[in-house]
Amino acid sequence: MGLILTVLSAALLTAANYYGELYFLSWAALLPFLYYLFVLKNDEITYRKIFLNGWNLGFWILIFSANFLYHSIKLYTSAPMLIIILILVLLFSLLSLSYGLFFLFYFYLQSRLFSQNQFRPFLFAFCWALFEFSRHYLLHFFPIASPAYTQAEFVSFIQLAELGGIWLLTFVLILVNGLLFQLFFQKKFKNIFIIALIFIIIFSFAYSRQQTNFAAEGAKEIEIGIITTEIDQKRKWSSAQLDQNIALVLKAASELNQTQLIIAPETNLTFDFHSNQYYRRQFLNKAADKFETPIQIGSLAAGDSARGRYNSSFLVSESGEIAARYDKNLLLYFGETYPYQKILNKYTPYNFSSLKAGEDSKVFKNKNLSWKTVICSEILYPEYVQTESDIDFIVNQTNEAWFNESRLLKNIMWQAAVLRAVENRVPVIKTGNQAHSGIIYPSGEYQKVNPSQNYHILKFK
């Protein structure tokens, strides 16, 4: 019974990561688990048992939130299915220890602060939000599984992200779970009024923000062109595909020249844009001939002074010159960088190699436009995406083909972009390979583009 109720809670809490319209399930997702813990087993709770049950819940949350990692490990290592599953079980078991520690911490405070050792929704929600905050910074390499991202489709609610980011959203979401548990299983009917008040505040704040025009007064309409692709990961990096990738970018000139900027996906050019002089010169010459607007492209490229390569984004002017470059700062663990790389290469048959990390964030500027670029998984870090500069929009270039068309991964990346737009009250333009692409407005509303087409024009103020 305990396992069934725990898995059910984890499934309900993460369902909206698969189907965004199911966001409402997260508001009552913890009821089965809390019922098991604080009703069926209330008289038997010990520190040991609450730790183990919290650990178990965390394990299933991570299973449902990050199973897409199977595909990237398979693609990179070609290891047998059983080996990959064992690796992921071990990884999720270790990471979910933090959930066990959270429940242990909450139970300790509950028993120490209150004479009657009963479930306390406000304390529980505060501890969970504090836990998510701590987990994000202590386990910086694994910035997913936050309950807040499940609410990307609940546009009224996510307006609160402007005030307190995903931490405030998490607090409110978990608080309502706790209040509903008390209402249904402990008959605390006064919670109806507290829940009603919470939603009145949510909708009142959302209404007040909907009356705000987030565009600068007198702002002119901006037109941005984006290139999207649906290229299989193995085929993308083949020598036969290299020239086709270049041709696809150059064709954008005839489709998107009327825009103020053209943006391509992460690593859309599959040659070293810094070191490969032949292909770079060829591309820049053709760009100067065809384009009447700047284009932002992606490449794995070497640097001037250091060995290795960076995951880079280049701004190429309409005259065919490199106007700016950004090297990805926050590399994806087990994808772009590998801890204990020497040990892995020594004791496994695989040749693990890491990219180099950039050191500075970058605001690109061209004429009257300025924008911040974050590459792929960097969109999952709210503190990094946040900008102090006055910018027109945020660009997120991605390549999500590593994950075998995973609905889960695509949705999580898009949901994160939605939250970043609301937190910063700045449009986010997302373009990728085998990804959800389009524009998210400062309100959290969005426009996705048709993935079957390569060229799109986005308009906004």
The mean per-residue pLDDT over the stretch 37-60 comes to: 92
Instruction: Specify the range with the lowest mean pLDDT, choosing from 38-42, 97-101, 168-172, 434-438.
Output: 38-42
**Nearest in space to 455 (alpha carbons), one of 268, 272, 273, 313:** 268
Residue 392, classified by CB atoms within 10 Å of its CB into exposed (0-12), middle (13-18) or buried (19+), is buried
What's the whole-number mean pLDDT along residues 298-326? 92
Sheet of strand 428-433: strand arrangement: 363-366, 369-375, 393-399, 428-433, 438-440, 446-448
Exposed/middle/buried for residue 167 (C-beta within 10 Å: 0-12, 13-18, 19+)? middle
Q: Residue 234: is its pLDDT beyond 90?
A: no
For residue 116, name the pLDDT band (cuts at 50, 70, 90). confident
pLDDT for 441: 96
8 A C-beta contact, residue 270 and residue 241: yes
Say what the pTM is. Answer: 0.94
Strand partners, 438: 430, 448
| Of 102-116, 155-169, 370-384, minimum mean pLDDT range | 102-116
Q: What is the pLDDT of residue 83?
A: 87
Q: Is the pLDDT of residue 455 over 80?
A: yes
168-182, 246-260, 311-325, 327-341: which has the minimum mean pLDDT?
Answer: 327-341
Distances (CA, A) of 336 to 104, 274, 300, 351: 34, 19, 11, 13
Residue with tokens 């406000």: 122
Say what the pLDDT of residue 336 is.
81
- The per-residue pLDDT for 45 is 87
DSSP states along 49-115: HHHHHHHHHHHHHHHHHHTTHHHHHHHHH---HHHHHHHHHHHHHHHTHHHHHHHHHHHHHHHHH-S
Q: Phi/psi at 350 (nearest 5 deg)? A: -105, 150
Determine whether 339 is exposed, middle or buried from the number of CB atoms within 10 Å of its CB (0-12, 13-18, 19+). exposed
pLDDT tens digits along 276-309: 999 999 999 999 999 999 999 999 999 987 688 9
Can you give the pLDDT at residue 62?
97
Torsion of CA 173, 175, 178, 182, to 10 degrees: -130
Residue type, position 217, single letter:
E
Domains of the chain, start order = 2-210 (no CATH), 222-460 (3.60.110.10)
For residue 356, report the phi and psi dihedrals to the nearest 5 degrees.
Answer: -95, 145
pLDDT in tens, 66-93: 999 998 888 877 788 998 899 899 999 9
pLDDT > 80? residue 339: no
pLDDT of residue 351: 66
User: How many CA atoms lie within 13 Å of 368's alpha carbon, on the beta-carbon side?
Assistant: 7
Confidence of residue 338 (pLDDT cuts 50, 70, 90): confident
Residues 6 or more apart whose CB falls under 8 angstroms from that of 240 comprise none
Query: How sure is the predictor about 159, in pLDDT bands with cuts at 50, 70 and 90?
Result: very high
**Residue 17: pLDDT band with limits 50, 70, 90:** very high
Question: 350: pLDDT confidence band, cut at 50, 70 and 90?
Answer: low
The mean pLDDT of the chain is 93
Q: Which whole number is the average pLDDT over 86-113?
A: 94
Q: What is the model's pLDDT at position 1?
A: 84
Q: What integer is the mean pLDDT of 230-237? A: 92
Helices and strands (DSSP H and E) totals, the chain: 16, 12
Query: Tens digit of pLDDT for each residue in 194-223?
Result: 999 999 999 999 999 887 777 666 678 999
